[in-house]
Structure 1
């Protein structure tokens, strides 16, 4: 199944579509300055609008600090809970209502590589792809991050 990803980080827009897929759009509030480390430009929920086939969904990206799980992105739509959370340096796990659907890889270049554990629904595939493209995937373990911080403090 072909997935089309249209991403403009400077403008803060992302659109995922394809034959048989619902259209997922994620938009950063107009006029906001993008964070260059985040493909969509922000992790602040108040600055993001998510729609799936034109219907609003609730998105809650965590702040992205020390622990891998602090880079998670939660979405609620139609009574379903989705989560994208790093599970390695490059990959993130995508779940629906706590059940693993697969892993996704995106380095922020707008291309997503997916590996599904079970057959995803078209909605699963479109939303997972959109979240991976908008926020990237993977994160360093906490101990490596702490080491980097300490290394920066030592002259």
Structure 2
């Protein structure tokens, strides 16, 4: 896969090794590896294969980092993914059908779009100080879990309409 050209950090490569491992690398960002426990059953709907934090290991520059994906149910918020890194709280949460918002300590810093593959698009918020770790984490989470989600009312309408004869 050709590198993605990030507007602030230059060439960034996102590599997926099936549903077992995702790696994000670039000269200007920390190296990120997200791995699924090979003994964990892989869910075909999730690029990394699971949302169970006990079955996932996230390392940034070789240091294991706390990763907390929510279970993913009806609401967009239930698909959030939280990361704690060097005293900073990150959250990727769907905020529209195609994209998810990345926050750092509660401040919206960028938007990511990905179908849960190696193609990730980042749009950084104007006026925000963007750090290399922000990009590394955002790209990894967007690739591993995908972005976007339908609003709850659309999911309910879709469920009701598919149940009708």
Q: TM-score range by the shorter chain?
A: over 0.9
**Take 1:109 and 1:131, find their aligned partners in 2: how far apart are those partners?**
11
* Aligned residue number for residue 11 of structure 2: 2
Please tell me whether the aligned partners of residues 22 and 33 of structure 2 are also in contact (alpha carbons under 8 angstroms): yes
* Structure 1 Cα separation of the partners of residues 70 and 40 of structure 2: 19
User: Distance in 2 between the 1:151 and 1:101 partners?
Assistant: 37
1:109 and 2:117 are equivalent in the alignment: yes
Contact 2:92–2:138 (Cα < 8 Å) also in 1 = yes
Q: CA deviation at 1:79?
A: 1.2
Match of 1:128 in 2: 138
Aligned pair partner of 2:97 in 70, 89, 103? 89
Aligned-partner Cα distance in 1 for 2:161–2:68: 32
Structure 2: distance between partners of 1:129 and 1:120: 13
- Please state if 1:139 is matched with 2:146: no
Deviation of 1:109 (Å): 2.5
2:145 aligned with 1:149: no
Q: Is the 8 A contact 1:68 1:85 kept in 2?
A: yes
Give distance in 2, aligned partners of 1:109 and 1:56.
23
* 1:14-48 CA distance string (max 9 Å, x none): 01011121111100001222111111111111110
Gaps spanning 5+ residues in structure 2: where?
1-9
Q: How many matched pairs?
A: 154
Instruction: Please report the TM-score for the alignment, with normalisation by the length of structure 1.
Output: 0.95
TM-score w.r.t. the length of structure 2 is 0.89
RMSD (Å) for aligned C-alpha atoms: 1.1
